[in-house]
Structure 1
Amino acid sequence: MSKCAAGAARRARQESEGAVDLAATRGIVPLRDSKDPGGPVLTVPAAAFSAFVSGVRAGTFDAV
């Protein structure tokens, strides 16, 4: 994971898969497309993002 502007973290993936920049700040996780750093930002409550990541790790969304 490497640091991006404004303290965001970037998880590198294969170029064909893309990447997402994120930065947890005061209970909010802002997300953006790493290919468009000046583009729109989606903000998600940190607890909801944590639940999403836990679901991904547990395979909750594998059938989706």
Structure 2
Amino acid sequence: MTDKTIFAVNDMTCGHCVGTVRKALEEALPGADIAIDLETHKVEFTGDRKTGEQAIREAGYTPEAA
């Protein structure tokens, strides 16, 4: 079983933001399960936590522990 990581990404404010974060995670963590809820600003993914966090930051967003 792969652990899921959840971050709050409060500066993710629109559909374009969701797409940008999703693309960054897909590129950094191929095959990861990714779920993004814009309303709650939650990003959930499987795979390496630090790699995912770095990908979100490099995409221009601020992941915070949720």
TM-score (norm 1): 0.27
Q: Which has the higher helix share?
A: 2
Structure number with the bigger relative contact order (C-alpha 8 A, sep ≥ 6) is: 2
